[in-house]
Amino acid sequence: MSQGMIALIGLATIVCSSALALSKKTHLAVPFIIVPIIGGMLCGFNFYQLMDFAHAGVNSCFNSILICVCAVLYFAILSDTGFFDIMVNRLVKITKGNVYVVLVITVLVGFIGHLDGAYNTTYLIAIPAMAPLYKALNIDRRLLVLLVSLAAGPMTGMSWANPAKQSMYDPDLNPVVMTQQLLPIIFIMLVLAVLYALWCGKRIYAKQGAELEALRNKYVVEEADKPIDWSNKPLARPQNFWMNMVLFIGSLLCFVFVTKVKTYLLFMIFSAIAWVLNYHDAKDQNAIFRKNANTMLAPGFLFMGIGVMVGILNNTGMVTAMVNCMLSVVPESMARYTHILWNIISLPLMVVIPYQAFTSITPVLMGIGQACGLTSYQILNPGMIGYINPCSPLIAANNLAAELAEVDIMELCKYSFLTCFVFNTIVKLLCLALGIA
C-alpha cells in the first residue's frame, strides 16, 4: 500500500475518533480504541498484529496511570482533612478588604487549589472561599474565575499533572525532568498572574475607589472573622493542620527534586503517611478511598484507550506516512516550529471544538518534531501549560466555575479570552526562547 493511502487512512482515523469523541454518545476511550483498530485493518494488518501494537501502546502509559491514581488519592486525603480549607481561610482573613491584596490572594488561592492538577477541585476550593469577598466589595466575579485560572495554569506543569500523562507518547519521558525544565516558565507565569492582578486592582480603584473604601470598612467589621464551619465535613481533622503542613511541604520537595524514584511510588508513600497521621482506624481510611475511587480510576481507562490509539498509529506507520506527506509540502524551516504554532492556534480552536478532539494530534506533532531533530521533551513542553480554562463553554469545569461564581458562562468566556490567549502565547514563546521547545 502506498504511503499516500496509509497517510489518508491515518488522517481519517484521527478525524473519525475525534468526531466520535465530540458526539458525547460514548465514553471518550471507546473511539480511541475501536477506530484505530479499523484503521489498522484497512492498512493491511491482521487483528493479532494490531493487538501487539495496542499492547505496546498501553504498556507505555502505565506510568501515567499510576501517577494520576496515586496523586488523586494523596491530595484527596489532604483535602478531606480540611488542610486546604484552613489555608484558604487564613489567606482570606489577611486581605482585610484591601482590593489589591484580595486579587493577589485570589492568585495564591488558585495556586494552592490546583496542586492536585484538577480544575474542578481548584474551582470548588477557591471560588466559594473568595466569592463572598468579591460580592461584599462589588468586584466583578468574572475576574475571580479568571485570576484563579491564571494561577492554576502554570501548576499544570507539575510532574503529577500534565507531564505525568506524556509517557503514553514516549515511555522514556520522565515527568520530573519535564517539570524541572518547565520550572522557570511556571515561576514567570505565576509572577505575571500576580502582576496582572495588581494591574486589575489599579483599574478597579480608578473606577470605584470611594465605593470600595466604604464597602471595605463594612466587610472588615461584619465578615472577616467568621470561623470555618466543619459540621458537614465529618472527615475533617483541623487539629492536624501543622502536621499536615510539614508533610505537604516535604512531599512537594520530593516530587520536584527526587528524580531517582518513580513519582507514583512517592505518592504512595506520602498517601500512606497522610492516612496514618490523620485517620487511626480502617473505617475512616476506607471511607476516603471509596469517596475518591471514581476520580482515581476514571483517567486510567481513558489513558489506556489513548495508549491503544498511539500504539496502533505509530506501529502501523500511519504517523510516519502523515508526517512524510506534511514535510513534503511544508518547508523544513517552518516544520521545526509546527508544535509551537499548533499550541498557539489550538486555544481559539478549543473555544468552539472540545479539547478532547485534539488528543489524536499529538502523535503527528511528535513525528514532525522528531523528523526535524527535536527531542520528545522539546515537542511536548509547550503544551504542558495551557490557559483554555476559562475560555470555553464546552469544558465542564468552566461551567462549574460559572455556577459557583454566579456569572453567565458565555460572558465569562468573552471576558477571559483575550487575556488567556496572551498568557498562552507567552508560555509558548518563553519555551522557545529558553531552548526547551
**Dist. CA 231–CA 228, nearest whole Å:** 9
Q: How many CB atoms lie within 10 A of CB 8?
A: 16
CA distances from 53 to 9, 43, 60, 264, 376 (A): 17, 13, 11, 25, 20
Are 231 and 153 contacting, i.e. CB atoms less than 8 angstroms apart? no
The set of cell numbers assigned to 168 is 503514553
Q: What is the pLDDT of residue 222?
A: 54
Q: What is the pLDDT of residue 291?
A: 81
**Dist. CA 107–CA 261, nearest whole Å:** 31
Nearest CA to 415 among 139, 137, 146, 130? Answer: 146
DSSP state at residue 228? P
Q: What is the pLDDT of residue 433?
A: 93
Cell numbers 453567565 correspond to 408
CA-based max dimension of the chain: 77
Q: What is the pLDDT of residue 219?
A: 58
**Dist. CA 93–CA 2, nearest whole Å:** 67
Q: What is the pLDDT of residue 46?
A: 93
- Averages of pLDDT over each 10 residues, the chain, 437 residues: 85 84 76 91 93 88 76 82 79 73 89 76 78 80 95 88 78 86 94 95 80 63 62 84 90 78 86 91 84 76 81 84 73 80 86 66 83 89 90 78 84 92 95 91
Nearest CA to 144 among 188, 104, 97, 90? Answer: 104
